[in-house]
Structure 1
Amino acid sequence: MADGSSRSLLAPAREYTKNQSAWRGQRSTYKLPTLIFTFLTLLVACIIASIFILLRSHEHPVGSWAIRPSILLSVLAGIYPIALSGLFTAGVAVVWWRSITHGTTLKTLHYINAGASPKDIPGAFLAGGHARRVALGALVVFAAKLTIGPFLQQATKPELRDITRDITMSIRIASEIPDGAFGTVSAFQPQGIGIQQDTFFGYNLTVKDGAQFHCPGNGTCEGNVTAAGINFVCSSESAPFDLFDPGENFSTVFSIDMELQPETSPPQLLFDSTYISAVDDNCIGTLTTTNCNIILATMLYPVRIRNGILRPNFTHVFHNPTTAIVKNYTSAGDAEMENPKAFMGPLRGALEAVGMIYRTKAHLIQRQIDGIDVVGYNFMTEDRSAPFWANMFLNTSLLGDPGRAEFIRRCPLVWYSPVEYVMTVVLALMFRTAYALSPELTGNQTFDAVYSGEELWNITDFGWLAASVAVMVCGIIATMLLLWGWWQLDHYTSLSPLETGKVFGAPILTNAGPEQEARAIIREIGHERVAHDGDELVWNGTVYATGVAATTRNARDPFSDDHRLSSLDTRMSAQSSLRGKGHRRGMSSVSDSSPSQARPSFEHSLGVTTRRPYDDEAELDSGQYGRPRSRSRGSDAIPMLPLSLSPVSGGSPQLPPIPPTGTIRMEAFGPTPRPRKGSRGEFDPLAGGKRPLSKIEERGSPSP
Structure 2
Amino acid sequence: MSTEPETKSRPLRKMNPIFRAGTAKQDSYSSTSATPVAAFALAVASALCIVGSALVIHLSHDRIVGAWIPKSPSVQPSVLLSIFASIFRTCQTLSLSYGVAILWWRTVLGGTTLKNLHYIWNKGQWSSPDGIRRAWASSPQTKRLMVTFCVISITNFVEGPLLQRSTKSDLLLKISGYEEAWSLPQDIPDGWSGSVDDTAHGRLFATADLSQVLQDWYSGKDIYVPDANQCNGTCTGEVVGPGITVNCSSARQYVDLTGLSNTAATAFDLTFNRTLDSENFAVMDMRLQFISTVDSLCNATVVIQSCTIRTAQVAYSVAITNNTVSLSYGEPLVVGNLTSVGDSVDTRDGLPAGTLAALDYFAYYYLQSNGTVGHNATENLYWNEPGHGTLSLEYQDYDPSHFDNNAQCAFQWVDATHDIVASLHEVIFRMAVAVSDGSLSLLWGFGELTREVTLSPLETGRALCEPCLSSRSMDDMEVEKIIEAMGDTPVRWDPQTRESEQESEVGGSGQNMLVDNQK
Deviations 1:496-533 (A, max 9, x none): xxxxxxxxxxxxxxxxxxxxxxxxxxxxxxxxxxxxxx
Q: State the one-letter code of the partner of 1:64.
A: W
Q: Give the corresponding residue for 1:257.
A: 271
What displacement does 1:86 show? 4.6
Distance 1:213 1:53 in 2: 21
Please state if 1:378 is matched with 2:385.
Answer: yes
What displacement does 1:190 show? 1.1
Q: Give the corresponding residue for 2:249.
A: 235
Change (3 A) 1:425 1:136: same
Change (3 A) 1:247 1:100: closer
Q: Give the corresponding residue for 1:285.
A: 300
Q: Give the corresponding residue for 1:335.
A: 344
Please state if 1:416 is matched with 2:423.
Answer: no
Q: Give the corresponding residue for 2:429.
A: 431
Q: Give the corresponding residue for 1:365.
A: 374
* 2:284 aligned residue (253, 256, 269): 269
Distance 1:212 1:54 in 2: 23
Distance 1:272 1:205 in 2: 29
Q: Give the corresponding residue for 1:209.
A: 226
* 2:178 aligned residue (161, 168, 175): 168
Deviations 1:542-571 (A, max 9, x none): xxxxxxxxxxxxxxxxxxxxxxxxxxxxxx
What displacement does 1:194 show? 0.8
Q: State the one-letter code of the partner of 2:228.
A: A
Q: Give the corresponding residue for 2:466.
A: none
Distance 1:213 1:49 in 2: 27
Please state if 1:224 is matched with 2:226.
Answer: no
* 1:396 aligned residue (395, 398, 402): 398
Alpha carbons 2:291, 2:412 under 8 Å: kept: yes
Aligned residue for 2:186, secondary structure, equals: coil
Alpha carbons 1:257, 1:272 under 8 Å: kept: yes
Aligned residue for 2:359, secondary structure, equals: helix
Distance 2:194 2:399 in 1: 42
Q: State the one-letter code of the partner of 1:392.
A: E
Distance 2:86 2:401 in 1: 73
What displacement does 1:260 show? 1.3
Distance 1:338 1:99 in 2: 106
Q: State the one-letter code of the partner of 2:288.
A: S
Q: Give the corresponding residue for 1:177.
A: 188
Aligned residue for 2:422, secondary structure, equals: helix
**For residues 507-518 of structure 1, what are the structure 2 equivalents within 5 Å?**
none
Q: Give the corresponding residue for 2:491.
A: none
Change (3 A) 1:117 1:356: same
Q: State the one-letter code of the partner of 1:361.
A: N
Aligned residue for 1:437, secondary structure, equals: helix
Please state if 1:295 is matched with 2:299.
Answer: no
Please state if 1:64 is matched with 2:95.
Answer: no
Deviations 1:117-165 (A, max 9, x none): 99xxxxx99x974697699679658856975775566455552421332
* 1:246 aligned residue (237, 260, 285): 260
* 1:353 aligned residue (362, 366, 380): 362
Q: Give the corresponding residue for 1:644.
A: none
Change (3 A) 1:277 1:133: same
Deviations 1:611-647 (A, max 9, x none): xxxxxxxxxxxxxxxxxxxxxxxxxxxxxxxxxxxxx
Alpha carbons 2:311, 2:356 under 8 Å: kept: yes
What displacement does 1:291 show? 1.7
Distance 2:334 2:184 in 1: 16
Q: State the one-letter code of the partner of 1:244.
A: T
Distance 2:400 2:432 in 1: 40
Change (3 A) 1:83 1:367: closer
Q: Give the corresponding residue for 2:460.
A: none
What displacement does 1:167 show? 1.9
Change (3 A) 1:254 1:56: closer
Distance 1:239 1:436 in 2: 42
Alpha carbons 1:173, 1:227 under 8 Å: kept: yes
What displacement does 1:90 show? 4.5
- What TM-score, normalized to structure 1? 0.47
Aligned residue for 2:195, secondary structure, equals: coil
Distance 1:364 1:98 in 2: 110
What displacement does 1:58 show? 7.4
Change (3 A) 1:307 1:2: same
Distance 1:99 1:420 in 2: 93
**For residues 452-467 of structure 1, what are the structure 2 equivalents within 5 Å?**
none
Alpha carbons 1:99, 1:109 under 8 Å: kept: no
Q: Give the corresponding residue for 1:545.
A: none
Q: State the one-letter code of the partner of 1:163.
A: L
Change (3 A) 1:99 1:183: same
Q: Which ranges of structure 2 fall in alignment gaps of 5 or more residues? A: 1-11, 19-25, 126-130, 198-204, 441-519
Distance 1:349 1:176 in 2: 13
What displacement does 1:377 show? 4.5
Higher relative contact order (CA 8 A, sep 6+): 1
Change (3 A) 1:251 1:137: closer
Aligned residue for 1:271, secondary structure, equals: strand
Distance 1:378 1:25 in 2: 113
What displacement does 1:60 show? 2.7
- What TM-score, normalized to structure 2? 0.62
Q: State the one-letter code of the partner of 1:192.
A: L
Q: State the one-letter code of the partner of 1:281.
A: S
Larger of the two Rg values belongs to structure: 1
Aligned residue for 2:343, secondary structure, equals: helix
Aligned residue for 2:191, secondary structure, equals: coil
What displacement does 1:253 show? 3.5
Moved more, 303-312 or 79-88: 79-88
Distance 2:425 2:56 in 1: 50
Distance 2:373 2:46 in 1: 91
What displacement does 1:268 show? 1.0
Distance 1:54 1:155 in 2: 13
Distance 2:191 2:373 in 1: 41
What displacement does 1:209 show? 2.3
Alignment size in residue pairs:
395
Q: State the one-letter code of the partner of 1:394.
A: Q
What displacement does 1:256 show? 1.1
Distance 2:51 2:256 in 1: 85
What displacement does 1:428 show? 1.2
Q: Which ranges of structure 1 fall in alignment gaps of 5 or more residues? A: 8-23, 119-123, 381-385, 443-704
